[in-house]
Amino acid sequence: MKRALTFMLVALFAAGSLFAQQTTPPAPAAPREAKLPEAAEKTLANGLRVVVVPRAGVPLVAARVMIRTGAAADPAGRDGLAQLTSSVLTKGTKTRSAQEIARGVEALGATIETDAGWDSTSVDLSVMSPNLDKALEVVADVVRNATFAGKELELERAQAIDSMQVTLGQPGSVASLVATRLLFGDSPYGHSANGTPKSLARIRRDDLVAFHRNFYRPDNAALVLAGDVTPDAAFALAERLFGSWKKGAPVSAPAAPAQIEARRRVVVIDMPEAGQAAVVVARPGIRRTDPAYYRALVANSVLGGGYSARLNQEIRIKRGLSYGAGSSFQPRLYVGPFAARTETKNESAPEVADVIVAQMTGLASADVPETELTPRKAVLIGDFGQSLESAAGIVDRVSALALYGLPLREINGYVGNVQAVTAEQVRRFAASNLRGEDATIVIAGDAKKFEEQLRKQFESVEVIPIADLDLNSPTLRMRKAKG
Amino acid sequence: MRALRFTLALLLVASAAAAAVTIPPVDYRHRVLANGLEVYSVQDRSTPTVAIHVWYRVGSKDDPAGRSGFAHLFEHIMFKSTKNMKSEMMDRLTEDVGGFNNAMTLDDATAYYELVPSNYLETLLWAEAERMGSLNVDEANFNSERDVVKEEFRFRVLAPPYGRLFYAIDRDSFSAHPYRRPGIGSIEDLDAATLEDVKSFHATYYRPDNAVLIVSGDFDQKQLDAWVDQYFGPIAKPETKIPRVDVKEPARTEEKRVDELVPNVPLPALAINWLIPNAAHPDAAPLVIAATILAEGESSRLQEKLVRGEIAQEVTADADLREDLGRFTVVAFMATGHQPPEAEKVIRAEIASIAAKGVTAAELEKAKNLFLTSALRERETSNGRAFALGEAVVIHEDAAAVNRGLEQIQAVTSADVQRVMKKYATDAKPVVIDYREKPAPAEAAAPAGGAR
C-alpha cells in the first residue's frame, strides 16, 4: 500500500548529494507492501448482516452491533433521544439487572460502550478472545431485550444533564454546537445529538421504548467483528445469539432535509472569563456517497487535515497563535458539515478567523503544487494504514462502509482512489465547496476582548450572551420571559 | 555491545470466569553502545511499519529554578532546526511519507517517537541522531514556539472547566519534591525562558548516556544494529556529570485541606490523594489493583456508590506511579445539588473498608482481567509495545518489568490490597482539594449575612 509513495522521495531528496550522508537524510529503502485485511460476510435469515475480519497475533476481539439509525432520527423536541436510548440500553434486560450486566461484563475484563452518531448507533465490545462468546451474549441480550426501567432512565438522564452542563462550560464545545445549529437549522442534523438540559428533561420512557422497538432490529443492523476470531466461529456465534431476533416492519430512513445553503453569518457567544476563545468556520459539506468523496478528503488534507496542513502551518507554526488548528468534513447519509476549528487567546480570535477564511478561499484560487499535494495524500494513506493496525480500527472502517451501503471492497480501493485525485480537481472542488466568503463563523469566548476588532473585520456581528443561548431553538436565543 | 536475547515464557493467565489467556510477551533485544546509549529492539514483521522512540531521562522535575514548564517547552523546540535539519523537517520525514511523529514530556522523562513505513527506518535513525547531537535554534523560532506553548497552557488549564483542578493537584500535594511544579509551567515562567536556557539544557541532558533508543516493528536485526552504530555511535559522551533530582519528599504529618476557588466551574469536584512509593516498588501492583477495584468500570465500588448513588457524575481513581514517588488519587466530579464533602465521606469509607476487610475474590479477578485486557489493547501495535517498553525501562527502571509487571498484577492477593490501603491511606494523611466556582465579585463584596 505504500508503493505509490516512492516517487515522491525523488522530489524530496533530489537536492541532497549522494556522498554527503551525514548532512542529509539517508534515502529510504524499497517499500514493503502491506496486506489489507480480508472480510468475510454472511446475512442471517432475519436480515442481520454479519461481517468478520480475522487478524491473528493478539488474543483480542473488537465487535460492534451497528444500528442504522442515530441522532438524525431524534423526534422534534426530543433532542438527545438516540443517545439516551443507547445509554439506558445496557441498564437492564428481561433477565439481567443493570448491576448484573456491568459485573458480568467487567468480570470478563471486557468493556461495552454505546454511542449514538448522527446516522447510526453502535454497541461496541472489546474483549480477550477466549471470553468472546460470554461477552457477546451480554451484548445480544441488551440489544434485543433492554427493558428501559424508569429508575435507570432517571439516573442516566441526570448524568446526561450534568455532563451537558460541563460541556456548555467549554468554549470549543459551545462553538461547535452553535455552528451545527446555524448550518442545519431545524433539519435533522441541526440539534445537539447529546440533547440539552431542557430537551433531556422532556424525554419520557415511552420515547425510548418506541425508539428501540422501531430501530433496534436485525434488518436495520449489522454485526461487525475483527481480531482473533475465524469467520466460521463468528458466523456460528452470530446465528446462536442473534438468529432468533425477529425482524419487524420495514424501517424508513429519515426524510432528506431541504438543501442546506452556505450563508455568511458571524456569531459570537459571549462567555465572560473564558480562558481561551474557540473559533469555528463552517459550511455545508458532502454526503458520504458523493462522487466527490475522495476529492473532499484530499482537499481537506491540504487545508486542515493534520499537523503540516495549511491551517496549522499558518496559525500555529508561522504565527504561534494556537496549540493546533485543523478542519474536517463529516460526510453523512445526507450532506454533513465541513468545519475548520481552532482555539486561541481571546484577543487573537478575529485574526485567526481571518486566516481560516483566507486559507479556505485560497485553495480555490490556484492549483496545489505537486510537492505539497503528494505528501498530503501520503498523510491520508498513512492514517488509513494505521487505523487498520488495531481490531477496533478495522471495525470502525468496515462499519462505516456497511452503514452507507458501500461495497466492502472499497477498502482495497482507498489508496488508489486517493492517489487518483488531481490538483485541478482539488481546486474545482474547493471553488464550489470551500469558499470562505459565505462560510459561517462562530466564536465562543470572552467577547469584551475581541468584539471591537471583530466588528472592524466583518459587517454584521451577532453577539449572544451564554446565559441567553438556547440550543433547542434555530434562533439560538431564549424567548424573553413575559412581564 | 553484545546483543542479549531474552527468551520469555508465555504468560499464562488462568481465570475462573473464563478460559486461560495467553499474553504474548514483549520479546526485546538489548545492547549498550560505547557512548552509553541503551538500545532496545522488538521485531514484528507482520506490517511494514516501524516505531522509533528516543526516551531521555529528563522530565518536568528537572525544570531549572524559576523555569517551570521548561522541559516541556524544550520538547517543542526539539522539532526546530539542528545543524543539518531545517525547522519542521521531522514532519517532512514522517507525516509527508504517511507516518507521524510526536513527543511527550512526563515528570521523569521526555519521549520522542515516530511511526513510519519501515523503508524509512534509516532516515529516522539519522534524524534522531541528528537532534541528539546538536540543536541550532534561532530567536524567532524560539519565540514563536513559546507562544504555541502558552496557547497549550490556555487550552489545557484555562479553558476546560476542570483544567485548573488538574493543574492544582501536584502543587497542593507535594511539599518539597519538584513534582509540585506544573509540567506545563506558568505564563510568567515561560516568558522568563531564554535561548541560552535551551542551549544549556540540551548540553546537560540530551546526550547518549542519558537516552534510550527503542525500535519496534518491521526491521532486519543486523541492518538495524549497523545503522545504530553508524548514526548514534559517533555522538560523544560528555565528561560532565548528569545532574539528578535528589530531593526527598517528607512524609505527611497532618491532613491538609485546600479550597480551589476558580472561575467557570459548572459543578464542583473533590480530589483526595495520598503519597505512595515509586513505580519500581513491590507495592505498586497492589496499588494499581486497589485503584481499579475502587473506580474502574460501572460495577466498581465508587461507581456504584457515587455515580449510581447520584452523588457524582463521574469518579476516577489512579495510582500515579513515578520514578521517585507517586500519589494515589481519587477525583469525584459532583452531580447537581451535591457537594464535595459528601463524596469525600463515601471515598474514605470505602478505602477504610478495604483496609479493614480486604476485597472479594470476584473483585480481585475482575480487576486483573480489566487490567490485562487494557494491556492487550496497548500491545496490539508496534508503537504500543514501544511505549510499554519505554515506560518499563525509564519509569520502572527495569526493562523486564514490561513482562513481569503483568505477572505481578496476577499475583496480587486480597491481603496485599488490604495492606497497601491501610499503610498508604488509612494510616497516612491525605491532601483534600475542594474545587468550586469562585463567587462573583459582587457577591464576594456583599456584607456578611446579606440576602442572596
Shortest Cα distance, chain A CAs vs residue B378, angstroms:
10
A15 has a chain B CB within 8 A of its CB = no
Q: What strands, in cross-sheet order, belong to the sheet with A277-284?
A: A325-329, A337-344, A277-284, A440-445, A265-270, A461-465
Q: Are B334 and B270 a contacting pair, CB within 8 Å? A: yes
pTM of the complete model: 0.92
Task: Report the DSSP pairing between strands A49-54 and A221-227.
Answer: parallel
Q: What is the DSSP string of B33-99?
A: -TTS-EEEEEE--SSSEEEEEEEES--GGGPPTT-TTHHHHHHHHTTS--SS--TTHHHHHTGGGT-
The predicted-structure confidence for B115-124, as pLDDT tens digits, reads as follows 999 999 999 9
Shortest Cα distance, chain A CAs vs residue B243, angstroms:
31
Query: Which parts of A318-361 are beta strand (E)?
Result: 325-329, 337-344
CA distance linking residue B283 with residue A166, whole number of Å: 36
Paired strand residues for B269: B333, B435
Q: How far is CA A432 from CA A201, A283, A310, A372, A428, in A?
A: 41, 11, 19, 21, 7
ipTM of the complex: 0.90
pLDDT at B374: 92
| Amino acid in the structure at residue B421 | M
Chain B (165-204) residues lying within 8 Å, Cβ to Cβ, of chain A? none
Q: Return all residues near B405 (Cβ < 8 A) that are at least 6 apart.
A: B285, B392, B396
Paired strand residues for B327: B275, B320
**Higher pLDDT, residue A412 or B293:** B293
* Identity of the residue in A32, A128, A130 whose CB atom sits nearest the CB atom of B218: A32
* Identity of the residue in A60, A99, A322 whose CB atom sits nearest the CB atom of B151: A322
Question: What DSSP designation does B184 have?
Answer: T
pLDDT at A391: 95
pLDDT at B442: 58
The predicted-structure confidence for B388-426, as pLDDT tens digits, reads as follows 999 999 999 999 999 999 999 999 999 999 999 999 999
Least confident of A52-66, A249-263, A278-292: A249-263
Do A30 and B100 lie within an 8 Å CB cutoff? no
A109 has a chain B CB within 8 A of its CB = yes
pLDDT grade for A250, boundaries at 50, 70 and 90: confident
The predicted-structure confidence for B169-204, as pLDDT tens digits, reads as follows 999 999 999 999 999 999 999 999 999 999 999 999
H helices of A250-340, where? 293-303, 310-312
pLDDT at A255: 76
Residue A12: name the closest of A447, A479, A374 by CA: A374
Q: Are A68 and A403 a contacting pair, CB within 8 Å? A: yes
* Identity of the residue in B126, B158, B365 whose CB atom sits nearest the CB atom of A26: B126
Mean pLDDT, range A103-110, rounded to an integer: 96
pLDDT grade for A398, boundaries at 50, 70 and 90: very high
pLDDT at B40: 98
Q: How many CB pairs under 8 A join A and B?
A: 251
* Identity of the residue in A24, A30, A111 whose CB atom sits nearest the CB atom of B119: A30
Q: How many CB atoms lie within 10 A of CB B176?
A: 10
pLDDT at A329: 98
Do A275 and B159 lie within an 8 Å CB cutoff? yes
Q: Are A273 and B263 a contacting pair, CB within 8 Å? A: yes
* Identity of the residue in A106, A129, A391 whose CB atom sits nearest the CB atom of B297: A106
> Grid coordinates standing for B418?
488490604
B77 CB neighbours in chain A (<8 A) are: none
The predicted-structure confidence for B79-107, as pLDDT tens digits, reads as follows 999 999 999 999 999 999 999 999 999 99
A271 CB neighbours in chain B (<8 A) are: 264
Shortest Cα distance, chain A CAs vs residue B449, angstroms:
27
Do B18 and A128 lie within an 8 Å CB cutoff? yes
pLDDT at B243: 97
Do A130 and B381 lie within an 8 Å CB cutoff? no
Do B91 and A307 lie within an 8 Å CB cutoff? yes
Q: Return all residues near A233 (Cβ < 8 A) that are at least 6 apart.
A: none
In three-state secondary structure terms, B176 is coil
Q: Residue A483 above 90 pLDDT?
A: no
Burial A11-25 (b: 16+ CB within 10 A, else e): ebbeeeeeeeeeebb
Q: Residue A15 above 70 pLDDT?
A: no
Q: Residue B48 above 80 pLDDT?
A: yes
pLDDT at B172: 97
> Could you tell me which chain B residue has the CA closest to the CA of A344?
B151
* Identity of the residue in A58, A170, A320 whose CB atom sits nearest the CB atom of B148: A320
CA distance linking residue B323 with residue B394, whole number of Å: 8
Q: Residue B330 above 60 pLDDT?
A: yes
> Grid coordinates standing for B91?
514532519
> Grid coordinates standing for B375?
494491556
A133 CB neighbours in chain B (<8 A) are: none
A354 sits in which H/E element: helix A349-365
Mean pLDDT, range B11-40, rounded to an integer: 77
B6 has a chain A CB within 8 A of its CB = no
* Identity of the residue in A130, A171, A375 whose CB atom sits nearest the CB atom of B159: A171
CA distance linking residue A8 with residue A10, whole number of Å: 5
Shortest Cα distance, chain B CAs vs residue A45, angstroms:
31
Mean pLDDT, range B230-240, rounded to an integer: 96
The predicted-structure confidence for A191-214, as pLDDT tens digits, reads as follows 999 999 999 999 999 999 999 999
pLDDT grade for B20, boundaries at 50, 70 and 90: low
CA distance linking residue B128 with residue B163, whole number of Å: 33
Q: How far is CA A310 from CA A378, B141, B214, in A?
A: 15, 18, 32
pLDDT at A259: 82
B143 CB neighbours in chain A (<8 A) are: 320
> Grid coordinates standing for A354?
481571518
Q: How many CB atoms lie within 10 A of CB A242?
A: 21
Q: Are B117 and B49 a contacting pair, CB within 8 Å? A: yes
- How high is the mean pLDDT of chain B? 92
The predicted-structure confidence for A300-317, as pLDDT tens digits, reads as follows 999 999 999 999 999 999
CA distance linking residue B256 with residue B264, whole number of Å: 25
Do A385 and B218 lie within an 8 Å CB cutoff? no
The predicted-structure confidence for B353-366, as pLDDT tens digits, reads as follows 999 999 999 999 99
Do B335 and A158 lie within an 8 Å CB cutoff? yes
pLDDT at B18: 45
Do A382 and B379 lie within an 8 Å CB cutoff? no
> Grid coordinates standing for B69?
514548564
pLDDT grade for A20, boundaries at 50, 70 and 90: very low
Q: How far is CA A111 from CA A125, A132, A174, in A?
A: 6, 11, 30
Longest dimension (CA), chain B: 79
CB-based contacts of A210-215 (< 8 A; 24+ apart in sequence): A211/A73, A211/A81, A211/A82, A211/A85, A212/A85, A212/A89, A212/A146, A212/A148, A213/A248, A214/A69, A214/A248, A214/A251, A215/A67, A215/A68, A215/A69, A215/A73, A215/A121, A215/A251
Task: Report the DSSP pairing between strands B312-320 and B211-217.
Answer: unpaired
B385 has a chain A CB within 8 A of its CB = no
- How high is the mean pLDDT of chain A? 92
Shortest Cα distance, chain B CAs vs residue A273, angstroms:
7
A22 has a chain B CB within 8 A of its CB = yes
pLDDT at A481: 54
Shortest Cα distance, chain A CAs vs residue B362, angstroms:
7
